[in-house]
Amino acid sequence: MTSYRFPEGFLWGAATSAYQIEGSPLADGAGPSIWQRFTHTPGLVRDGHNGDVACDHYRRYREDVALMRELGMNAYRFSISWSRVLPEGTGAVNQRGLDFYRRLVDELRGAGLRPVVTLFHWDLPAALDDRGGWLNRDVASWFADYARVVYRALDGAVEEWATLNEPWVVTDGGYLHGALAPGHENLYEAPIASHNLLRAHGAAVQAYRAEGKHRVGLVVNIEPKYPASQEPADLAATRRADAYMNRQYLDPVILGSYPDEMREIFGAAWPEHPPADLDLIRQPLDFLGLNYYTRNVARHDDETWPVHAAPVPQLRHAYTETGWEVFPQGLTDTLIWMKERYGNLPIYITENGAAFYDPPMAEGGEVSDPLRVSYFRSHLRAAHRAIELGVDLRGYFAWSLLDNFEWSLGYSKRFGIVHVDYETQQRTPKASARFYADVIRSRGAALDAG
């Protein structure tokens, strides 16, 4: 029987993001973000939901930190809202916004939890969107200026910084297919937005090297692509899908060039990039953050624009409530692939988790979520397997600490290990939280059984 023991010093935590949990988006002098606007535009978010209250974490953060401590976590990944700190995106600093994160970081450290901070988790200041947002080349210096303000305020207490969360989702959802803020659907804009996201990442890493004392990295979502058949058309489609979603970001960041397939996919919409941009993008990193949820089995499909690759449903396999196949082996495969393609950088699994149906109210103080328990068990085992195979994995963050605002799906999908009753804001740790606490307490031994 395999015995699961994780290394000493491994980070065990949960992840969240600002707009998804904080609520009070305009409190204490904050400016609106593009998500504030998007959610307040009728018809864009399921059931008209928005982040006005969310989990009320902005006011209840102490309770949430105490919960994490009770569950035995030693780290917490959260994001900072740019427009709380700089209401206009650039220029004047809103000290009260910054103070919220100072209080949060202090509370975490007081509870023995290490803060892992993401600078950008999708909530671009609306004022910057008015100036072109990710389509304006100046966004790289806007982002670096914002990052500098935050580094100066918090680097004494924060040792792991991530620049961006999932640039692919920002571009694919925000600029190509339009399901996420700012809701554009434009083939020509998408590669420009991606490129400026990566330039902004590079500029923020440079700024960190000038001022920071600790470690900085990037968080990407990787969905490994497996061909539906060995037919040349399916193999080519799989290659394109992988380039589009996975290599489009890590290749320039680590290897200094975009994958060849990008031109195949975007045709005339793929711009020429000045070589100096690639130098800015390719900054040495201290770690990579991996968000892993599922895999994709791909086949060629003429109708699927613009990648011409369509997902093939896997009969008899389990799927989550968001329609994502449960495929733990993909986590091991992805970690090995990252090590082999990009070098053995330290990696954190910065998100991993599953939405399954849970009732709106926790009956008798209990929420039984066996499917989520089994998801975490199998994925933690898969992560452990990657360590055995030589991956320098340093930590694991469950998505998410709390049920929360799942973007254009509103509150319809619950990802939390802690249940939130949105009527009362009552928090109830689910069975998956108890299970995770056992894993943490035993440094993995609780994975041996079951």
Q: Would you call 325 a catalytic residue per the annotation? A: no
Residue 166 or 369 having the CB closest to ligand FCB:
166
**Residue number, 291 or 296, with CB nearest to ligand FCB:** 291
In 188-225, which positions are buried (b, 16+ CB within 10 angstroms) versus exposed (e)? ebbbbbbbbbbbbbbbbbebbeeebeebbbbbbbbbbb
Beta-carbon contacts of 171 under 8 Å, excluding residues fewer than 6 positions away, are 134, 190, 193, 194, 197
Residue 178 beta carbon to ligand FCB: minimum distance, rounded to whole angstroms: 16
Q: Shortest approach of ligand FCB to residue 28 CB, angstroms?
A: 23
The torsion angle over the Cα atoms of residues 68, 83, 183 and 326, rounded to 10 degrees, is: -10
CB of 253 to ligand FCB, least distance (A): 18
Minimum gap (Å) between residue 378 Cβ and ligand FCB: 18
Question: Can 388 be counted among the known catalytic residues?
Answer: no
Q: CA–CA separation, 211 vs 163, rounded Å? A: 15
Indicate the residue among 77 and 195 with the shorter CB distance to ligand FCB.
77
Min dist. Cβ of residue 103 to ligand FCB (A): 23
Question: Residue 249 or 399: which CB sits closer to ligand FCB?
Answer: 399
In the complex with ligand FCB, the residue whose CB is nearer, 17 or 81, is 17
Question: How many whole angstroms separate alpha carbon 97 and alpha carbon 76?
Answer: 19
Residue (94 or 118) nearer to ligand FCB, CB: 118
Catalytic site residue from 22, 107, 223, 351: 351
CB of 348 vs ligand FCB, minimal distance in Å: 14
259, 243 contact by CB (below 8 A) = yes
Minimum distance from CB of 105 to ligand FCB (Å)?
A: 20
Choose the catalytic residue: 166, 189, 223, 406.
Answer: 166
Contact footprint for ligand FCB (CB under 6 A): 17, 20, 165-166, 169, 221, 291, 351, 399, 406-407, 415
Q: Which is nearer to ligand FCB, 253 or 278 (CB)?
A: 253
Q: CB of residue 247 vs ligand FCB: minimum separation in angstroms?
A: 18
Please provide the distance, in angstroms rounded to a whole number, between the alpha carbons at the two ends of the chain.
11
For ligand FCB, which is the closer residue by CB, 291 or 332? 291
Q: Which residues are catalytic?
A: 166, 351
